[in-house]
Amino acid sequence: MVKRVKGEAALRIFRRYVPRLRWCPVCGAPVLGRERCPRCGSRTVEVKMAPPGDARPAWPKERRELYEAAKREHGKEAAKRLLGSPSSFALFNPVQGVDAAYEVLVDGHTVGLFFYEPLEDRWRFRPDRVGAEILANEELGTVVETRARLRSGAVLREGLRGEKPGPGNFVVLVGRGPSYGVGRVLEDGAIRVVKAWARNRRIEWRHNPRPLSLDEAVEVNREWLEELEEEATTWLQETIRIHGFWAVSAVSGGKDSTVAASIAMRAGVEHSYSIDTGIEHPESLETIDKIVRALGFTHHEASPGSEAFWRAARLYGPPARDYRWCTKYLKMSVLPRVFSEFPRDKRILVVTGQRGAESTQRALSPRLAESGTAARGRHYVALPIQRWSSLEVYLYIHYRRLPLHPLYLEGFDRIGCYMCPVSRLAEFKIVKKRHPDLWEKWTSFLRSYARRRDLPSEWITLGLWRWRFSYPS
Ligand code: SF4
Ligand SMILES: [Zn+2]
């Protein structure tokens, strides 16, 4: 059993195991693993991100929302300077937030934070580090000056120069030192410093966001993707050969399992399986079907049935992040049914798309291990893409023209069941719009549960049902 690791120790693990991303300032393209750009030969620079640093492309719909949010909050000129246009290439690095939140990486720099504000039901953009310094130095957007040295958490009331927007809005701050920061305007007109830092002398101001298609990004990184594929396929082939495994690929419709399935197919694996929990996104079932057909697997499927979840939910209440009865009840319970279709005289190897960047626990998982959930000594799990980054996964999917679950393009980072408690409110909003009937079925269950227990309406509207025992800070 792997221990849960937090804080500095977690950072050290991610630094060791999660691949670093680089950037070619000349091509304006992400470069995987190379110190020199494979296209133009220029020296590449490391992209600095919050750990684990598992950035992915921002999709067209998200880029439009990002641009609109930046324009609304900081003006058109500021949005243009930091983001280029809604079609300029950007990467989103998922970070901790109240709900969905991303570091926005444009032209290899962190220009801001794009996050969903549940209380206001809207996406917001807050400049950060490079973005804020660009706006401050070029006097774009709302810049407020103070004679004080900026400190995170401080409240500034006096000696402020510059026009302030209304309460709740963000401003860029310039203080003594010089120090830079971003602040939020409070109800009484004072400004709370959200974040502050000393001037970053090493920033290059040649910030030039521009469009870059996924085709071009793949082209720049083609060799790297081929090497990754080759390494993973050879490792899997050898693992199967040496241990004499009978292998099967677990397909969920998610991006990581799709890539692992493609590697499995190349390594000679002929079978796949999936579990339909009965509360899947309809798009997941369609995507699984497409993947299985594209890769030519013999597919095995099991399901506890469409009523199983609802029967159990009436008994146990809604599943929660700290009360995931659903995984055991809907998935583990039907696994034996699928496995009964596999050869009984062989050791079974399940190929999955688990990646180290997902959590410290996963970063420390061995690439080949005995399964903790199935028959001991007979079932094993292989992780061919354990060290791949999110960007490598997406570029590989594009490179091999594999089916991509449509919900990623809408803004999902992880695909589970349609009302999975691990989801963010921003994702529920998408489900509600795409499948109002499914969403109504779930919320009517929540409403009747809340009525019986006298729970406030926020328990539903703010998705507080996603925690059973304790809420996060
Ligand atoms: S994906 Fe979410 S809702 Fe579905 S079984 Fe897993 S934890 Fe439960
Ligand atoms: Zn280049």
Check pocket membership of 417 for ligand 1, CB cut-off 6 A. yes
In this structure, which topology does domain 47-198 adopt according to CATH? Nuclear Transport Factor 2; Chain: A, (3.10.450)
Check pocket membership of 422 for ligand 1, CB cut-off 6 A. yes
Pick the atom of ligand 1 nearest to 423's CA. 2
The two beta strands, 56-57 and 91-94, are: antiparallel
* φ, ψ for residue 383, nearest 5 deg: -120, 80
As given in the structure block, the two tokens for residue 303 are 């399901």
> Which ligand is located closest to the Cα atom of residue 284?
1
The pLDDT value recorded for residue 375 is 61
**Closest protein CA for atom 3 of ligand 1:** 420
Q: Give which of 270, 219, 283, 273 is closest to 240, Cα–Cα.
A: 270
Check pocket membership of 324 for ligand 1, CB cut-off 6 A. yes
The pLDDT value recorded for residue 1 is 42
Q: From edge to edge, which strands make up the β-sheet containing 21-24?
A: 29-32, 21-24, 45-46
Q: How far is the CA of 326 from the centre of ligand 1 (A)?
A: 6
* φ, ψ for residue 351, nearest 5 deg: -95, 120
pLDDT along the chain (473 residues), means of 10: 64 71 94 96 93 94 98 96 96 96 95 96 95 92 93 92 90 92 95 90 72 97 98 98 97 98 98 98 98 98 96 97 95 92 94 92 90 76 96 98 98 97 97 98 98 96 96 83
What is this structure's pTM? 0.95
Q: Which of 422, 428, 438, 465 to mutate to test the pocket of ligand 1 (most atoms within 8 A of CB)?
A: 422
Check pocket membership of 319 for ligand 1, CB cut-off 6 A. yes
**Closest protein CA for atom 5 of ligand 1:** 327
Q: What is the 3-state secondary structure (H, E, C) of the chain?
A: CCCCCCHHHHHHHHHHHCCCEEEECCCCEEEECCCECCCCCCECEECCCCCCCCCEECCHHHHHHHHHHHHHHHCHHHHHHHHCCCCCCCEEEECCCCCCEEEEEECCEEEEEEEEECCCCEEEEEECHHHHHHHHHHCCCCEEECCCCCCCCCEECCCCECCCCCCCCEEEEEECCCEEEEEEECCCCCEEEEEEEECCCCCCCCCCCCCCCHHHHHHHHHHHHHHHHHHHHHHHHHHHHHHCCEEEEECCCCHHHHHHHHHHHHCCCCEEEEECCCCECHHHHHHHHHHHHHHCCEEEEECCCCCHHHHHHHHHCCCECCECHHHHHHHHHHHHHHHCCCCCCCCEEEECCCCHHHCHHHHCCCCEEECCCCCCCCEEEECCCCCCCHHHHHHHHHHCCCCCCHHHHHCCCCCCECCCCCCCHHHHHHHHHHCHHHHHHHHHHHHHHHHHHCCCCHHHHCCHHHCCCCCCC
Q: How far is the CA of 37 from the centre of ligand 2 (A)?
A: 5
Q: How far is the CA of 279 from the centre of ligand 1 (A)?
A: 9
* Start-to-end CA span in the chain (Å): 27
**Closest protein CA for atom 6 of ligand 1:** 327
**Closest protein CA for atom 1 of ligand 1:** 416
Q: How far is the CA of 417 from the centre of ligand 1 (A)?
A: 5
In this structure, which topology does domain 214-421 adopt according to CATH? Rossmann fold (3.40.50)
Whether residue 52 is preceded by a cis peptide bond, meaning omega within 30 degrees of 0, is: yes
- Domain positions in the chain: 47-198, 214-421
| Residues around the ion ligand 2 (C-beta < 5 A) | 24, 26-27, 37, 39-40, 42
